[in-house]
Amino acid sequence: MLVHLRRRRLLAAALAGAAFAALGVTLASSRAAGDAKELAVSNLFTRAGFLTPLKPAVVYGASTFPIPLRVTAPDASWAGSQWRTTSRGKPAFSWAAVGHGATAPSGVPLRGVVTIVTPYGPSPSVAETVARLQIGGSGADYGKPTRVRLAGYAGTQLDGTVWGKWGHVFIPFSPVTNGASPPDHLSLPRGETFRAIVLNVRGRTVLLFVLKADLPQDRFPGFLADAGRLLKTLAFPA
């Protein structure tokens, strides 16, 4: 009887210790998810939009995102912002951007940028999104889609160049709009070089566009390398 009682006490203590440890991990994860400095709010794709300089080694978040988003600038060359686009007065898509330059409204060149966008509502699958990027009319050439893994999530990568005289408009999430410009549209000028990465993040499709912007073409490979170092810090905490 005494032996069984001791075993029960030991088992209870072990279970309590495990529960306390699990609680500690949960609290630590919650603190880690919450200890992020907010990206400034500014729609980079408007004339008044700009990026705010980021401090190196500081974790930044975007509370406008429907899922937690974290990114850390590897050096002092980066700046960032977050914003929403709406449909009929309601939030429809959440955006975040991190890049070089464009730290004042209009007139300051954007020397390469990574944009991240996802819908607030249901999203098409990764395959559907990649297909929409490729069939949005003429004006852009695409490389062969490849499988990638970023921030711990699987996805598809697609490289391309815009050659159309009037540029090209990408509409990754919205259905056919018959010429309208839905709140997820991204209009790129002729000569733009891009890398699109489409991820499945816990059932939600997240699109990243790495853009040359005002950067000279011969410097874009260098920016891709810089962006790769930045994207190694990207996380979508549960």
Report the CATH number at residue 89: 3.40.1000
pTM of the model: 0.83
12 located within any domain? yes
Looking at the fold, whether 31 and 115 belong to one and the same domain comes out as no
215 located within any domain? yes
First to last CA, the chain: 46
Domains held by the chain: number = 2
Looking at the fold, whether 151 and 225 belong to one and the same domain comes out as yes
Looking at the fold, whether 26 and 101 belong to one and the same domain comes out as no
Looking at the fold, whether 105 and 57 belong to one and the same domain comes out as yes
Looking at the fold, whether 165 and 65 belong to one and the same domain comes out as yes
129 located within any domain? yes
Which of 8-12, 36-40, 140-144, 178-182 reaches the highest mean pLDDT?
Answer: 36-40
Interacting residues of 187 by C-beta distance below 8 A, sequence separation 6+: 45, 167, 168, 169, 170, 181
Distances (CA, A) of 237 to 74, 81, 87, 155: 19, 19, 27, 17
Count CA within 13 A, CB hemisphere, residue 237. 20
Residue 138's pLDDT is what? 76
Instruction: Write the pLDDT tens digit of every residue in 42-80.
Output: 999 998 999 999 999 999 999 999 999 999 999 999 999
Instruction: Write the pLDDT tens digit of every residue in 205-236.
Output: 999 999 999 999 999 999 999 999 999 999 99
238 located within any domain? no
20 located within any domain? yes
Residue ranges of alpha helices (H) inside 48-195 are 126-134
CA 59 to chain centre: 14
Looking at the fold, whether 94 and 3 belong to one and the same domain comes out as no
- Give the C-alpha separation, 110 to 101, whole Å: 5
Instruction: Write the pLDDT tens digit of every residue in 108-167.
Output: 899 999 999 999 999 999 999 999 998 766 789 999 999 999 999 999 999 999 999 888
Looking at the fold, whether 95 and 158 belong to one and the same domain comes out as yes
